[in-house]
């Protein structure tokens, strides 16, 4: 007795994803660059920060928005940015140097999370002043990365921060909103919050980001690399 013929698995009509070699190389370079991040210094006040003649990228966001996790994911390190068990308690600006061959060409600034209810009001007000002064007056600031939990959307405090930096954005300051914890959203939810946040960001870049699924990591890394290394600087001058 002959066996019935086996059913063939359906052939997918979807073409295989095409990997752009140039884009893949940019992602590799950017991630390798961020992996060199190392601790420089920590300061409780703006006047205690050293004056560094390097472009600076600041990471900001509400407590519990996943800021420390995002920084550690981008730099491929486990404890570069310290996530306190009590959000909002760490009230220091932490600076990290970044650069290949042990020569720093940029600085990452990790600013403490804001908006955590358990922090005393006096501490909140003091830190808001410090952060506001930093964002408005830090001369070497090249870009700002705002972490936002997409399940809650941009809050009033996030919008206040946007208002603070808007004049500098108009003058060329780079700005990126990372919608962290994107793995907790469905595809349709992600598309919806992405569209809404782009409207709220007023011209800044917005990307879905998941440390767990590594979603948006390469894209964010490439943006930060481009902020510090504009394409015009990488190209040889014309004859």
- Could you tell me which of 172, 64, 61 has the C-alpha nearest to residue 118? 64
pLDDT higher than 70, residue 58: yes
- DSSP H stretches of helix in 106-151: 121-137
> Rounded to two decimals, what is the model's pTM?
0.84
146-163: per-residue pLDDT in tens?
999 999 888 888 888 898
* Amino acid 45: pLDDT: 81
Maximum pairwise Cα distance, the chain: 88
> For 3-14, what is the mean pLDDT?
55
* Amino acid 46: pLDDT: 84
CA 57 to chain centre: 9
Tell me the pairing of strands 56-61 and 38-43. Answer: unpaired
pLDDT higher than 90, residue 132: no
pLDDT higher than 70, residue 227: yes
> What gap in Å lies between CA 119 and CA 126, rounded to an integer?
11
172-194: per-residue pLDDT in tens?
999 999 999 999 999 999 999 99
> For 104-127, what is the mean pLDDT?
78
């Amino acid at each position: 007795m002959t066996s019935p013929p086996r059913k063939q698995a359906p052939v997918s009509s979807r073409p295989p994803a095409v990997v752009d070699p140039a884009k893949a190389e940019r992602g590799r370079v950017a991630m390798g660059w961020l992996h060199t991040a190392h601790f420089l210094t920590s300061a409780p006040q703006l006047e205690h920060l050293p004056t560094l003649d390097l472009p600076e990228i600041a990471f900001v966001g509400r407590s519990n928005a996943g800021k420390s996790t995002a920084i550690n994911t981008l730099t491929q390190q486990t404890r570069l940015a310290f996530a306190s068990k009590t959000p909002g308690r760490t009230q220091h600006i932490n600076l990290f140097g970044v650069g290949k061959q042990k020569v720093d060409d940029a600085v990452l600034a990790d600013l403490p999370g804001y908006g955590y209810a358990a922090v005393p009001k006096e501490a909140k007000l003091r830190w808001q002043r410090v952060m506001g002064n930093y964002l408005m007056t830090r001369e070497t600031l090249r870009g700002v990365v705002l972490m936002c939990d997409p399940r809650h959307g941009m809050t009033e405090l996030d919008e206040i921060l946007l208002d603070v930096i808007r004049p500098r954005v108009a003058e060329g300051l780079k700005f990126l909103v990372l919608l962290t914890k994107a793995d907790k959203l469905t595809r349709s939810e992600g598309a919806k919050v992405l569209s809404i946040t782009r409207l709220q960001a007023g011209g800044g870049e917005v990307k879905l980001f998941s440390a767990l699924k590594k979603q948006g990591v390469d894209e964010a890394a490439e943006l930060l690399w481009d902020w510090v290394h504009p394409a015009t600087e990488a190209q040889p001058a014309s004859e």
